[in-house]
Amino acid sequence: MKKIGVIDGQGGGIGSAIIKKIKELYGETVEVVALGTNAIATAQMLKAGANRGASGENAIVQTTKSVDVILGPLGIIIAHAMMGEVTPGIAEGVAGSPAAKLLLPLTQENVTIVGVARLPMPHLIEELIDMHLHNFIT
């Protein structure tokens, strides 16, 4: 069974939307671990159907070492992103994880990803799961 780490912060809305879509398509054939930069984000992702959840820097750094795939917004690999919720330790832990990383080109930071089309979040999540995550599940 593949283990998918979903990382989000602030209110956990992006992570929750990702988890709902994963659970709709794959149900209990995958394990989804919600990793929130704060307890509110983790709680929202657990409500969305994550199998387990944990919050904070150490939980994220340790858990990303053992998941097969990491999903989340681009900000999870940028130190001080999400209004400072992504610590340098989180950014380094996620970026250095041996897991595959599938990141949505969404960020509040002053970063532009050149060559990426601007699509609404629901379309990005659909593409993330249908076109990219599928390759790691099968």
Domain that holds residue 126: 2-137
Task: Say what the pLDDT of residue 107 is.
Answer: 67
Name the DSSP letter for residue 131. I
How many domains in the chain? 1
Q: 110 pLDDT exceeds 90?
A: no
Distance between CA atoms of 127 and 121, rounded to whole angstroms? 10
Please name the residues in contact with 116: beta carbons below 8 A apart, sequence gap of 6 or more. 105
> pTM to 2 decimals?
0.93
pLDDT in tens, 5-60: 999 999 999 999 999 999 999 999 999 999 999 999 999 999 999 999 999 999 99
Give the percent of the chain with pLDDT over 90. 80
CATH of the domain at 108: 3.40.50
Task: Enumerate residues 6+ apart whose C-beta is below 8 A from 82.
Answer: 9, 10, 37, 73, 75, 108
In whole numbers, what is the pLDDT of the chain averaged over residues? 94
Using the Cα atoms of residue 106, residue 110, residue 114 and residue 120 in order, give the sign of their dihedral: positive
